[in-house]
Structures are given as structure tokens and as C-alpha cells.
Structure 1
Amino acid sequence: MKIKALDVEKLITERLLLIPYTINICEEILNNDYTSLISMGLKTGQNWPDEDVLETLPRIINNLESVEEPTGFESWMIVKKETLEVIGDLGFKGFNFEENNADIGYGIIKEERRKGYAEEAVKELINWASSNGFLKEITAKCLIGNVNSINLLTKFNFLRIKTDHEMIYWTLKNENFVHKKKITER
């Protein structure tokens, strides 16, 4: 089975644009070159890219090199619609064909945390990913002490499947995807 190339330029939420990374964009950012972002009308957010982004970009490039074109099961930039500033990223680490699942991750720059951006972005990406019909599960992991991620994953009905000395591992099965089951209000 092969996943087709992404057929949307971006995903749009109330306050955000989610724009897929390309190899070219990742390589430019690693070289402190923002030509592609500027040509798209985007700006770097305060302190973006941060150390986490710069550390993640080689893995994003590796994931993108394994597909002919972005499929959406790679990484996306999180952009504030109002200012067109890139404030973080989220996405999958590729699609696991054996398990019909994908592992999600996300990060927002420190200055923009606790404003609901991660929740808004994750909800949109889960809705997009689950609309394809073949995704059976989304997995995630977070550090044991990352209370904000624990709360977010719990809010989206992820279930803890195991914990080790450093990480908590999560699963969200198809029947609990956002578009099929309303997020629990807290």
C-alpha cells in the first residue's frame, strides 16, 4: 500500500495555518536561510526556530526522503493566521503500514505556550489524518513530567499504554478519533 501525495496546501483552523514542511524548507532553516518562508509570506516567530526545532529538522528530512512527495504523515509548521508567524510544528513520524498507525508529536515555542495553539493544531491534524479511512491508531509519547502534554493527550481521549523511567506512551484507537467522538470538556 502506498499513501498518495498530500492534496492540500495547508490545513486551516480558527487561528492557525498548518503548512507541510518540505525538504527544501527544512534544509534552508538549518542553514539559517528563510527564503522559502519569506516567499510564502511567512515570518519567524519570536525565538523560532528554537533548539527543539533545529534538533528535529534532520529527522523531518529523513521522513520526507522516504516518500516521493509529502503525504501529510510527516511534519507541519504551525503558523498564526493573524501574524503569519511560525510558532511551532506538529506532525507524524511517517505512516506505519504494518500497524496502520502513525505517531504524533508537537511543539510550540515557549512564548506561545498555554494559549490553546497545540490543542487547536492537534485536533485539526487528527481530523485530517483520520478522514482517510485506513488509519487505525495514533500513538504518542511524552516525558513523565510534561503535565501540559499529559493533559492535552488525555483531553483527546488518548489512553496510557505504558510508562517507563522517562516517558509515557499513549494510544488513540480509530473509534476514539476526534471526528467520531467529541473531545471531553474539562
Structure 2
Amino acid sequence: MLPLRTDRLLLYPCRLPLLTEIYLEHPHASETLGAYIPADWPQPDLKEQLPHFIELLQHDPKSFPWMLWIIVSVAEKKVLGDAGFKGRPDKNGVVEIGYSILPEYRRMGYMEEAAAALVDWAFQQPHVKKLIAECDVTNIASMKVLQKLGMRETGASGEMLHWYLLNK
């Protein structure tokens, strides 16, 4: 059932209208989510990717919900960050996960909680056999999240470490 709910979080997958509202910084996005959207969210990397997500959903509606999910605190009714996938699973059942949380909410377990919910959701979907991720070699916090999810490091290319987790 969407949104996904954990002990402390709600994870909302973004349909095209919500993505557009977020990109345009329209106040209705906050109403749609039922949550306050901080001025520093979306962060620069996501802000840069939003036009690509919008275009992809316009041309491939089946990409929903394999894109952006918004992480909302149940207690604060506030956007804490985002997570999601870099598109639909490929023909081999592989999907890549990514995530980001606002700096003031780091080291509180929120990202592990959100990512675990998304991993569980992804592995319940037909044809998903493998989850992959990458993180910068200096991003210790992200490495810890990936390790706690049970992912295994497969190696590095440049400044990026690569990870995987197989569906059981």
C-alpha cells in the first residue's frame, strides 16, 4: 500500500503532478504531501535531476513508482529527504537505489529506515532480482546504510564504490 509507512516515516512515491509542483516550488506540493517542505529541499543534486524525472514520466508513465520517493517524518509532518530508484528494473530484474537526507536529520537512523522500506517494497515487486547502489568512497554514512541493508560491495570505479543485494 502506498505510501509506505515505517515506525517514524511515510514514503511517498511521486507522480508527475507532484514532481512538477516540487520542481516549480509550487505551494500545493506541501498540501499534497500533508507536510512542510523545508527551503533547503530538494537539495541541489535532486533539483538538477527533477527535469529528467519529469520528462521520463511524461514519456514512460510506467516509470512510476520507480523514481523519486519523498521521506516525511510522521511526528513532525516535515520532508526529511528523498530516496528512490534510477528507473524501472531492467530486463535482468536489476534496479538501482539512491537516497539523500537533509543534513540536520543525518545520523538518526532515518535513512536506514527509509531505505529498508524501499528495499522490502522493491523485492516484493514482480521480476526484481537484484538491487544495486553506488556511493562515493568518502561517504562513510552511506556505506553504513548500504551495509545495514545487507548489501555487499563489488568494487570501485574512480571515486565510486558499487554494491549489490540479491532478492531471496
Normalising by structure 1, we get a TM-score of 0.82
CA distance in structure 2 between the aligned counterparts of 1:29 and 1:72, rounded to whole angstroms: 16
> Which of the numbers 132, 135, 140 marks the counterpart of 2:128?
135
Higher mean displacement: 143-152 or 91-100: 91-100
Task: Give secondary structure in 1 for the equivalent of 2:21.
Answer: helix
Name 1:15's counterpart in structure 2: 8
2:83 is matched by which residue type in structure 1?
L
CA distance in structure 1 between the aligned counterparts of 2:62 and 2:162, rounded to whole angstroms: 29
2:103 paired with 1:110: yes
2:153 is matched by which residue type in structure 1?
R
1:84 is matched by which residue type in structure 2?
K
Name 2:46's counterpart in structure 1: 53
Name 2:92's counterpart in structure 1: 99
CA distance in structure 2 between the aligned counterparts of 1:46 and 1:68, rounded to whole angstroms: 29
Structure 1: 4+ residue segments shifted above 4 A: none
**Equivalences for 1:1-186 in 2 at 5 Å?**
8-45=1-38, 47-68=40-61, 71-175=64-168
- Asked whether the 8 Å contact 2:15–2:65 carries over to 1, the reply is no
- CA-CA distance at 1:63 after TM superposition: 3.7
Name structure 2 gaps, 5 residues minimum. none
1:63-119 CA distances to partner (integer Å, 9 max, x unpaired)? 423432564322100000112111111011112332211100000011111111100
Aligned residues: 168
CA distance in structure 1 between the aligned counterparts of 2:152 and 2:56, rounded to whole angstroms: 26
CA distance in structure 1 between the aligned counterparts of 2:64 and 2:26, rounded to whole angstroms: 25
Normalising by structure 2, we get a TM-score of 0.90
- CA-CA distance at 1:26 after TM superposition: 1.9
Higher mean displacement: 162-171 or 100-109: 162-171
Structure having the higher helix fraction is 2
CA distance in structure 1 between the aligned counterparts of 2:126 and 2:84, rounded to whole angstroms: 18
